[in-house]
Structure 1
Amino acid sequence: MRRYVSLLTAVSMLFVTGCSKENAPADLDITGSMELKYAEQFTVDSCANGCSVVTIGDDRFLIVPEGTAVPDNTSGMTVIKQPVENIYVAASSAMDLFDGIGRLDDVSMTSTNESSWSLPHIHDAVASGKIKYIGKYSSPDYESLVADKCGLAIESTMIYHTPEVREQLEAFDIPVLVERSSYETHPLGRMEWIKLYGLLTGDLSSAEQLFSEKTRAFEELSVNDIPDNERRTAAFFYITSSGYFSIRKPGDYVSKMIELAGGKYIFTADDLNIDDNALSTMNIQSETFYNVARDADILIYNSTIDGELHSIDQLIGKNSILADFKAVREGNVWCTGQNMFQQTTGAADMICDLNTIFTGNADDTELTFLHRLD
């Protein structure tokens, strides 16, 4: 019987993933589309009957408001009926977006345990059991998902590596939405997914308001006219337990934030033998880091892996070659807070922080995600 259900679900998934935006059901009268400034990985079309059609990659979803009848023809789409309750968030980057619009109560399960959360509201919710940890995304507690009547599972693209998990969730009639914010080319595109979660929870206006407030300061920055040769250079890194320097690959969203803030990421593709994988980071030898980044104007240490640093001596203690770096000698060394990557709503704030240190106007009391090493 299990094999039959799995086969049936797999066939259903073929219909879902094989559908394109052009062949929407004929009885859905599309009247408009959600305005998106930066996000490119999802679209939302409004229907005359109050429903919304969400397209994410090859997946299509029909969001049906409470009290609205489900249209007869929903072929090729996953139906999500509102109100959406008892949401399971396996994509950790989405959790802060729910918190940002005050809808954390709609989330009841997560695949990230208590100790892995640096965001206070979410850490406390998981610690108290208000949001239940149900195991890793690759092996969730299906019994809890069913018993707690999960209304929606939000997965990251990591689920593509364990398709059997998605298959099993759908076999239990749990809609699965794979969020693709990590594929966004613009850093603020990740944050704009808050509009989708606002739509799902019935609080789109709050999501749009927060997004507008968060991006206003970024949009007021004047950095496009800064010549390339006048931009201050920066390296963003941390040192692994094995002694390697872990850096962001050129073109990833952190390096793009540096560029959007008026700086220049010190590493280029020509400097590196970039490994061909989907990771946004890579490890390099200390000699390579020294040769490329020694004269960088600014060093930014990523604290999210091994904890925050507070002094330059702590940094040099990790590798003595750093004492010879220009940024170390001039006192332009900074460290991120541990919440930088989990706080998706802070992308615009991080760009503004970077702009402040690139313009030389940094004051620790003004910064949200960065602090200077003494």
Structure 2
Amino acid sequence: MKKIVGVLGVAFCLMLAGCASQKQDTIEKRNTDISKDLTYDHSMELEYAKMFAVDYYQNDYALVTIADDGKYLIVPEGESVPEDMDKDITVLQQPIQNIYLAASAAMDMFVATDALDAVRFSSLKADGWYIEEAKKAMEDGDIIYAGKYSAPDYEMILNENCGLAIENTMILHTPEVKEQMEKFNIPVLVDHSSYETNPLGRTEWVKLYGMLTGHEDQAEQAFDAEAKAFEQVSDQDATGKTVAFFYITTNGEANVRKSADYLPKMIELAGGSYIFDDLGNEEEATSTVSLQMEEFYAGAKDADYIIYNSTIEGELSSMQDLLAKSPLLEKFKAVKEGHVYCTTKNLYQSTMELGTITSDIRKMLTGDDADLTYLYKVE
């Protein structure tokens, strides 16, 4: 079984690499000559992000390109839209206000850039937020619930002049929602930060949201602080320890991060090795893959450490909670040796804390787990 997993994993990883390469080609081969009225000046400097680009033009116009998904012309307040511009370019007129934020992972970036006042609608209710600033804004009525991403309240969004809907890639499974938004002249931008293979690439999306909301300086400062946090934790020796990161779904499968995902990269930066070094996905560029428990056992049973992802199915309160999910887990090396950890529920929303999360993984691997922020030991 393990050999089968490995062979399939190699094939899947090659397909994933091809998909990622195609998306990056969209960025690298983009055309900056979009109108005779716009003169290209320079591009945003990006160190790690590969899934978006920003090109600046004279008079403060900017073109945002999202990998394989769309182009957006940012038009400064008081300026006009070029008449000869391609119809496939979506216009975003500044100031961009009353944003409907369905990409919950982006909320931390709005908080970090002091741009929370640009968000008016949320796809989560107040009790669904673990970011205190977002939760308080909803309790105060500054941000209101406008329906989940797959069933938004179109009337509410329209009545309050939504300037932009920011969706995560789940919207690609319900394309009719995106189409309906656009029929109502509500521009839709799909956040592809989860497709970044480097954690700092995901964090670097803060520069995009800073640019959209006029908080570029704050975005640069927020990114630089996170980059320094990574430097501190990654400049250390490898531990030689392997790690499995997963959760058990309601139908009894193991949901596992792909090898090219940013979380395995964080494990590597922390000095560990992700137990699945060749696991990919056949076609879809999703960040996870589901395995039957027998298949998961074959690949992960010898992992030195287990990190259980609580962001979907909830936190573990004891080892019994873990073992109740599958009897096979009792046979895992990490379970036998007491090296089982669980994430806190706020891990996924804390996109501007990836350096701290990586530091937690490092502490786990070195036995210094008395003061963790986003992980805790399961006894």
Match of 2:346 among 339, 349, 357: 339
How far did 1:60 drift? Answer: 2.0
Match of 2:117 among 105, 118, 122: 105
Residue deviations 1:176-209 (CA, integer Å, cap 9, x gap): 2222212222222122111111111111100110
Q: Residues 172 and 246 (structure 1 numbering): CA distance in 2 closer, same or farther, change over 3 Å?
A: closer
CA–CA separation in structure 1 for the residues paired with 2:183 and 2:286: 31
Match of 1:372 among 364, 374, 377: 377
TM-score by length of 2: 0.82
Paired AA for residue 110 in structure 2: F
Name stretches of at least 5 consecutive residues in structure 1 with no aligned partner: 1-18
CA–CA separation in structure 1 for the residues paired with 2:134 and 2:234: 35
Name stretches of at least 5 consecutive residues in structure 2 with no aligned partner: 1-28
Paired AA for residue 72 in structure 2: F
Say which one has the larger Rg: 1
Match of 1:163 among 156, 162, 175: 175
TM-score by length of 1: 0.83
8 A Cα contact 2:268 2:274, kept in partner: yes
Paired AA for residue 154 in structure 1: I
Question: In structure 1, what is the equivalent of residue 206 of structure 2?
Answer: 194
Mapped pair 1:63 → 2:74: yes
8 A Cα contact 1:364 1:372, kept in partner: no
Question: In structure 1, what is the equivalent of residue 10 of structure 2?
Answer: none
CA–CA separation in structure 2 for the residues paired with 1:20 and 1:157: 21
Q: 1:275-354 alignment to 2 at 5 Å?
A: 277-354=284-361
Mapped pair 1:75 → 2:80: no
Q: Which structure carries more relative contact order (alpha carbon 8 Å, separation 6+)? A: 2
Match of 2:244 among 235, 238, 242: 235
Mapped pair 1:256 → 2:262: no
8 A Cα contact 2:164 2:188, kept in partner: yes
Paired AA for residue 104 in structure 1: L
Mapped pair 1:181 → 2:193: yes
Question: In structure 2, what is the equivalent of residue 37 of structure 1?
Answer: 47
8 A Cα contact 2:194 2:287, kept in partner: no
CA–CA separation in structure 2 for the residues paired with 1:119 and 1:368: 14
CA–CA separation in structure 1 for the residues paired with 2:153 and 2:253: 36
- Please report the RMSD computed on the Cα atoms of aligned residues, expressed in angstroms: 2.7
Paired AA for residue 337 in structure 1: T
How far did 1:225 drift? Answer: 6.7
Question: In structure 2, what is the equivalent of residue 244 of structure 1?
Answer: 253
CA–CA separation in structure 1 for the residues paired with 2:364 and 2:85: 52
How far did 1:116 drift? Answer: 3.2
Q: Residues 63 and 86 (structure 1 numbering): CA distance in 2 closer, same or farther, change over 3 Å?
A: same
Mean Cα deviation higher: 149-158 or 65-74: 65-74
Question: In structure 2, what is the equivalent of residue 50 of structure 1?
Answer: 60
Aligned residues, how many? 349
Mean Cα deviation higher: 241-250 or 327-336: 241-250
8 A Cα contact 1:275 1:282, kept in partner: no
CA–CA separation in structure 1 for the residues paired with 2:312 and 2:30: 40
